[in-house]
Every structure is written in C-alpha cells, then in structure tokens.
Amino acid sequence: MEITVNQQNYQVADVCTMQHLITDVLNTPSDGIAVAVNQSIISKTAWANHLLYPGDQIIIIKATQGG
C-alpha cells in the first residue's frame, strides 16, 4: 500500500504499524520524535498497535535543541 510521510510517498506492506514504519522502513530512531497521522497525534505508547491504511498522511517531527 502507499502512504505519505513528510510529503514523500512510500510503499509499505499491507499490514504495517507505526512502529514498523519508523524502525524498519524509515530506519529512524524513535527518541525525540512526534508523529501525526491524518492530523491526529499518535502517542508513542500506541505506535506498536496503530495500523496504517492506504493513503494515510503521516508527519514526523524531530525535536532539536537550540535557542
């Protein structure tokens, strides 16, 4: 199925959780990021059980330090 992450399209398995997307597809460390699917925040505790669906629009924001 096709999903969009930060305005870039990705092909993922038909059954894909948010955790799988972040760790296996995007190879992104899960520390210090926030995730929204279709403009709804998904808490980190829900990533393992949150299933993605075709056409989902995902935004991943990485926290940075600075002043």
Query: What number is the average pLDDT over the span 1-9?
Result: 97
What are the pLDDT digits (tens) for 10-47? Answer: 999 999 999 999 999 999 888 999 999 999 999 999 99
The tally of domains found in the chain comes to: 1
Position 63 scores a pLDDT of 81
Q: Which residue has the higher pLDDT, 35 or 64?
A: 35
Between the CA of residue 46 and those of 14, 61, 64, what are the distances in Å?
A: 19, 17, 23
3-class SS of residue 10: strand
Q: Which residue has the higher pLDDT, 53 or 29?
A: 53
Query: What number is the average pLDDT over the span 52-63?
Result: 95
Q: Which residues form the domain of 49?
A: 2-62
CATH number, domain at 35? 3.10.20.30
Residue ranges in 3-55 assigned as alpha helix (H): 18-20
| 28: in domain | yes
Classify residue 48 by its DSSP letter: T
| 67: in domain | no
